[in-house]
Amino acid sequence: MSKPKVYMVDPYYQDAIDLLQSNSSVESIIYTDPRKSNWQEDADALLIRSETRLGEAEFSKAKKLKAVVKQGVGIDNVNLEDAKKYGIAVANTPGLNSEAVAELTLGLALSISRRLSEFDRRIRSGEKIVRSKALGKSLYGKTLGVIGMGNIGKVIAKKWIGAMEGKVIGYDPIAPEWKDIPHTRVQQMDELLKESDVVTLHVPLTPQTKHMIGEKEMALMKKDAILINAARGGVVDEAALLKALQEDKLGGAGLDAMDYEPPTMSAYGDGLLKCENVIMTPHIGGSTIENQVRSGLASVETVLALLEGKDVPGRIV
């Protein structure tokens, strides 16, 4: 009897490739193999990342597909209703990228408040910086607003308290309580927006969260507040954000997730990238060597378990 075929259609870290190829119970086709484009013919399982999008068009042509595993948390590139329709299990790797995303969140907030990227650009352009006119703003003792109180939100709250000795306000209508973190949980997001010096988003992109931070919400924020989106593009209304920044109604924005990824000059050069107090990164929140190893190995272990009919913690469908 032929072995189940697992197609790794997107790039994974080498440790994950080695683990998959070392398993004698499956036949593995990795992303460098030209055969990967024909996965719909005989794939029993897929290992994907954000680059691959799956829905009705793809699932309807898949002759043997039983399981899809997405490395990372976000699963908006897979149509879950279509997967369910065709009886295909879908899983991700939750809880593994929390430290990495929290690190980037803190780094973006500090870089904006201390104007690090701005000064670096000005120095590289040949400008002589006058220190007395190069004042940043300290985040010590300030208030962090966390929208989305899941794994990532919890970790950044801990880091904020430890590094900044500041206050934390949390908002999430679904997530369980944080029992071991000093914080104030509000029932209305508006309360958080009014009180926070830094607002950080850690929610999935759903019809309910699309443009959850728009013109109305930004108008509630402090004039010098910093907005961080290390979640998903679409959660922030970018046109409203640009308007708020141009009118000096916000202190700055750090965006690791945006409508167009990766961000380019053609998409943002005449808008957000003209703002000195904006930092854009190409959705690299989870892109550390350590996290890629952990989540890649977890993805392979998950897909093998699904093929064996076992329950996995990251199963969504």
Q: What are the structural domains of the chain?
A: 5-96+290-307 (3.40.50.720), 98-280 (3.40.50.720)
Per residue of the chain (317 residues), give pLDDT as tens: 689 999 999 999 999 999 999 999 999 999 999 999 999 999 999 999 989 999 999 999 999 999 999 998 888 899 999 999 999 999 999 889 999 999 999 999 999 999 999 999 999 999 999 999 999 999 999 999 999 999 999 999 999 999 999 999 999 999 999 999 999 999 999 999 999 999 999 999 999 999 999 999 999 999 999 999 999 999 999 999 999 999 999 999 999 999 999 999 999 999 999 999 999 999 999 999 999 999 999 999 999 999 999 999 889 99
For the record, the structure tokens of 186 come out as 């509000």
The CA distance from 302 to 310, in Å, is: 9
pLDDT (0 to 100) of residue 76:
87
Q: What angle do CA 300, 234, 94 make, to 5 degrees?
A: 25
Please tell me what DSSP assigns to residue 258: -
Among 268, 292, 270, which Cα is nearest to 280's? 268
Contacts of 18 (CB under 8 A, 6+ apart): none
Q: Where are the alpha helices (DSSP H) in the chain?
A: 14-22, 39-42, 56-59, 80-85, 98-113, 116-124, 151-164, 189-195, 215-220, 238-246, 265-268, 289-307
Among 195, 87, 280, 139, which Cα is nearest to 185's? 195
Q: Residue 109: enclosing H or E segment and its boundaries? A: helix 98-113
Please tell me what DSSP assigns to residue 105: H
pLDDT (0 to 100) of residue 74:
82
Active site residues: 232, 261, 283
pLDDT (0 to 100) of residue 295:
95
Q: What angle do CA 109, 113, 119 make, to 5 degrees?
A: 115
The CA distance from 214 to 110, in Å, is: 23
The CA distance from 98 to 58, in Å, is: 31
In this structure, what are the phi and psi dihedrals at residue 15, rounded to the nearest 5 degrees? -60, -40
Is 67 within 8 Å of 89 (Cβ atoms)?
yes
